């Protein structure tokens, strides 16, 4: 991950302007806790902190693009009671220290009435604790670790959580793909990776599957030879990698180079065009869970895709869509707030949300401020990520029918892998 020894770069964005600002630090100024009021002229400020540089920059960039679109649409519709809404985004560089500094600055300097962020669960845990302590509502667009909203009653999210995501992929692996022996490799310093691995293992073993190995790595690693050599000797049918796209892409290349020709499975942290750039053909045929599939869009999401693509000259990713949803939800809560849209009133309106029409699925919060939403499973192909199936939470509406899945190639002789069942992902070497 890139770190800067010079002055920290802050990226300030609004719907009308984009400015890059250098700052020597985010020292807090005196301010009333829980009383964010925005800047002069009656504008309402939503603050956001995202990784716009570093190894997870693609996450932050896509999220900000969705958020800016939501701001533009809100202001075109009159803002909040005639008051314009301003979005201020700070670059946390993907580090815990900068995330904490950014949230403090958003509250003390920018006077944010609400905060959107982060993507990474580890960084949402840092910023969420500050927001909770200061009485400023925070909505994470895509942090799936359960601990994020457990911080307190000012922290919300617009995505599903890891226990469900892990259950989705374990069920897909066992029931849809017929895998019975899977190895797991996780980032031991990442809350997202740890939580998702735990949920996957619990569900897969409960359903009768066997976890043949549990290996680990650290963010930034590029050589996984030792772990993969162990796994190759254990006849795993698939490898579950609950990590982020940089390491996943490198791990796929390592795997094929060692002759371990089995599908990789993962979570929403995979989603980025850079996954294919890094992993090349070695990642093709693998599967991951996600929040949104553009090729499975309904009328509302199709309209969003068209608007987003016109604005940014590229189709939206799930993270871009969640960035839009989280920002639009905050604006909706500002509009529904009783009296003045103070942080406390916005928090109360967020908690009272019922069936908010988000692009990624209607949002109604449970007792822990988590939305109950479906997940989709995508397959990485040579022509982009393709929708395979949608899996609903227990008791929800029936899932969408599964799309045809490319058959898996049998494991190469001597690969250490059992032949994958018909209908599974290929993961074949290039």
pLDDT in tens, 209-260: 999 999 999 999 999 999 999 999 999 999 999 999 999 999 999 999 999 9
Mean pLDDT of the region 21-42: 40
Q: Which two tokens stand for residue 416?
A: 């250490």
Q: Which of 167, 166, 168, 160 is nearest to 143 (CA)?
A: 160
Q: Which of 52, 54, 59 is nearest to 2 (CA)?
A: 54
* CA dihedral over 358, 360, 365, 369, signed as positive or negative: negative
Q: What are phi and psi of 100, to 5 degrees?
A: -65, -40
Q: Which two tokens stand for residue 415?
A: 């690969």
Mean pLDDT of the region 399-428: 34
Q: Cα dihedral angle (179, 183, 184, 185), rounded to 10 degrees?
A: -140
- Say how far apart CA 42 and CA 45 lie, in whole Å: 10
Phi-psi region of 263 (alpha: psi -120 to 50; beta: other; left: phi over 0): beta
Same fold, 8-160+299-351 and 163-290+375-391: yes
Residue tagged 């719907």 (tokens):
15
- Say how far apart CA 288 and CA 276 lie, in whole Å: 13
Buried b (16+ CB within 10 A) or exposed e, 119-131: bbbbbbbbbbbbb
- Say how far apart CA 278 and CA 208 lie, in whole Å: 34
pLDDT for 56: 86
Confidence grade of residue 36 (pLDDT, cut at 50, 70, 90): low
Q: Is the pLDDT of residue 417 over 90?
A: no
Domain boundaries, the chain: 8-160+299-351, 163-290+375-391
pLDDT for 27: 31
% of the chain at pLDDT higher than 90: 75
pLDDT for 40: 41
DSSP string, 176-218: IS---EEEEEEETT-HHHHHHHHHHHHHHHHTT-EEEEEEEE-
Residue tagged 């939580």 (tokens):
195
| 3-state DSSP assignment of residue 144 | coil
pLDDT for 297: 85
CATH architecture assigned to 163-290+375-391: 3-Layer(aba) Sandwich (3.40)
**DSSP designation for 172:** I
- Say how far apart CA 111 and CA 235 lie, in whole Å: 56
pLDDT for 394: 67
**DSSP designation for 371:** B
Q: Is the pLDDT of residue 425 over 90?
A: no
- Say how far apart CA 11 and CA 8 lie, in whole Å: 10
pLDDT for 15: 36
Q: Which two tokens stand for residue 277?
A: 């750039």
Q: Which of 68, 48, 49, 50 is nearest to 59 (CA)?
A: 50
The average confidence (pLDDT) of the chain is 85
Collect all residues with Cβ–Cβ distance below 8 Å to 408 and sequence separation of at least 6: 263, 285, 420, 421, 422, 423, 424, 425, 426, 427, 428
CATH placement of domain 8-160+299-351: 3.40.50.2300
Q: Which two tokens stand for residue 419?
A: 């032949």
pLDDT for 424: 30
Q: For residue 87, give the H/E element and its range.
A: strand 85-91
pLDDT for 55: 85
- Say how far apart CA 164 and CA 157 lie, in whole Å: 14
- Say how far apart CA 142 and CA 146 lie, in whole Å: 12
Residue tagged 């692996």 (tokens):
173
pLDDT tens string 84-134: 999 999 999 999 999 999 999 999 999 999 999 899 999 999 999 999 999
pLDDT for 393: 80
Q: Which of 119, 118, 232 is nearest to 185 (CA)?
A: 232
Q: Is the peptide bond before 31 cis (omega within 30 degrees of 0)?
A: no
Q: For residue 129, give the H/E element and its range.
A: helix 121-134
Specify whether the CB–CB gap between 239 and 248 falls below 8 A. Answer: no
pLDDT for 28: 31
């Amino acid at each position: 991950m890139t770190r800067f020894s010079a002055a920290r770069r802050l990226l300030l964005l609004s719907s009308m302007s984009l400015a890059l600002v250098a700052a020597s630090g985010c020292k807090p100024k005196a301010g009333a806790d829980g009383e964010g009021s925005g800047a002069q002229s009656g504008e309402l400020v939503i603050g956001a902190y995202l990784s716009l540089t570093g190894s997870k920059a693609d996450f932050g960039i896509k999220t900000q693009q969705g958020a800016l679109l939501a701001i533009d649409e809100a202001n075109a519709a009159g803002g909040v009671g005639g008051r314009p809404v301003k979005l201020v985004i700070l670059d946390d560089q993907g580090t815990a220290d900068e995330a904490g500094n950014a949230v403090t600055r958003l509250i003390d300097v920018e006077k944010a009435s609400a905060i959107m962020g982060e993507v990474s669960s580890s960084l949402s845990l840092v910023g969420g604790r500050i927001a909770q302590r200061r009485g400023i509502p925070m909505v994470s667009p895509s942090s799936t670790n359960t601990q994020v909203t457990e911080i307190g009653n000012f922290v919300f999210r617009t995505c599903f959580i890891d226990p469900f995501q892990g259950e989705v992929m374990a069920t897909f692996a066992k029931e849809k793909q017929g895998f019975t022996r899977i190895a797991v490799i996780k980032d031991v310093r990442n809350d997202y990776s740890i939580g998702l691995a735990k949920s996957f293992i619990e569900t897969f073993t409960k359903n009768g599957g066997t976890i043949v190995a549990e290996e680990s790595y650290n963010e930034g690693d590029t050589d996984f030879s030792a772990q993969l050599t162990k796994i190759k000797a254990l006849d795993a049918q698939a490898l579950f990698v609950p990590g982020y796209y940089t390491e996943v892409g490198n791990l796929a290349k390592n795997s094929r180079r060692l002759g371990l020709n089995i599908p990789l499975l993962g979570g929403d942290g995979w989603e980025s065009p850079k996954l294919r750039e890094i992993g090349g053909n070695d990642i093709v045929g693998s599967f991951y869970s996600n929040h949104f599939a553009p090729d499975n869009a309904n009328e509302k999401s199709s309209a969003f895709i068209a608007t987003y693509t016109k604005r940014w000259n590229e189709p939206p990713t799930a993270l871009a869509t969640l960035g839009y949803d989280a920002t639009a939800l905050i604006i909706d809560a500002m509009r529904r707030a009783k009296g003045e849209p103070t942080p406390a009133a916005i928090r109360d309106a967020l908690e009272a949300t019922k069936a908010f029409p988000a692009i990624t699925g209607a949002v109604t919060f449970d007792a822990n401020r988590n939305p109950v939403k479906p997940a989709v499973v995508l397959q990485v192909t040579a022509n982009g990520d393709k929708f395979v199936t949608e899996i609903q939470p227990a008791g929800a509406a029936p899932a969408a029918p599964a799309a045809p899945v490319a058959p898996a190639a049998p494991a190469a002789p001597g690969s250490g892998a059992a032949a994958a069942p018909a209908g599974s992902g290929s993961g074949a070497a290039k």
